[in-house]
């Protein structure tokens, strides 16, 4: 009797274990067969959570957009003041240089008139012998002096004939002779004269 009781008690103990194992096996089969459905549902739910709701598009005001385009065009155009400014020339302006006269760079030439015998107003017993160099510029004036050399000598003689011996000073005499000769010249004027000879001679 004791042996049969022990067997029955052992069966009673192992029966719930077997049932539990069978239930676990059935649940495992169900999970294995439905695993694709389970994961597809979870991925779909995650997508639904991740995707944001589309924003509602606000209606565009056509007048405002056209006004903004016009203002952009005005800003892009250059101002009229910048367009109207004349371009400055790169080349420097030439300054007007006054033209030099024909005889400005011409060197002085001279003609000498020697042995001019001059009497004085208060002395008849002696006379003065003069020699002068006439300085001037230009070929035309040289010709005029050459053709009128005798007339120039007479003018010098007349000038000294009007003076007394105490009035004859070489420095002032040069200025008077130059002024006298210039008064008869028509092709130009003397620049200066030199008295190269001046001495009295008794008669």
Domain ranges of the chain: 2-45, 109-202
At 152 the pLDDT is: 96
109-202: CATH topology is Tetrahydropterin Synthase; Chain A (3.30.479)
At 110 the pLDDT is: 95
CA–CA distance, 177 with 113 (Å, rounded to integer): 12
At 20 the pLDDT is: 82
Closest listed residue to residue 130, CA positions, set 155, 96, 107, 99: 155
Show pLDDT as tens, one digit a residue, over the chain (203 residues).
Answer: 545 555 566 666 677 788 888 888 887 777 776 655 555 555 555 555 445 555 555 554 545 555 656 666 666 555 544 455 555 555 656 566 555 555 557 899 999 999 999 999 998 888 999 999 999 999 999 999 999 999 999 999 999 999 998 999 999 999 999 999 999 999 999 999 999 999 999 87
Interhelix angle 149-161/170-182, nearest 10 degrees: 130
Q: What is each CA distance from 36 to 24, 25, 69, 84, in whole angstroms?
A: 20, 19, 56, 79
Report the predicted TM-score, pTM, of the whole model to 2 decimal places: 0.50
């Amino acid at each position: 009797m004791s042996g049969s009781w022990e067997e029955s008690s052992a069966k009673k103990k192992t029966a719930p274990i077997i049932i539990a194992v069978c239930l676990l096996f059935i649940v495992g089969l169900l999970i294995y067969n439905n695993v694709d459905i389970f994961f597809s549902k979870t991925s779909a739910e995650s997508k639904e959570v991740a995707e944001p709701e589309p924003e509602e598009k606000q209606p565009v005001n056509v007048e405002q957009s056209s006004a903004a385009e016009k203002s952009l065009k005005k800003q892009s155009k250059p101002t009229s003041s910048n367009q109207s400014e004349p371009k400055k020339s790169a080349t420097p302006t030439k300054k007007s240089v006054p033209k030099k006269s024909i005889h400005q760079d011409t060197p002085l030439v001279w003609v000498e008139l020697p042995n001019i015998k001059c009497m004085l107003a208060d002395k008849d017993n002696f006379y003065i012998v003069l020699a002068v160099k006439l300085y001037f510029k230009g070929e035309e004036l040289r010709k005029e002096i050459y053709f009128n050399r005798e007339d120039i000598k007479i003018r010098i003689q007349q000038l000294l004939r009007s003076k007394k011996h105490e009035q004859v000073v070489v420095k002032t005499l040069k200025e008077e002779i130059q002024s006298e000769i210039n008064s008869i010249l028509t092709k130009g004027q003397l620049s200066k004269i030199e008295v190269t000879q001046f001495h009295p001679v008794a008669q």
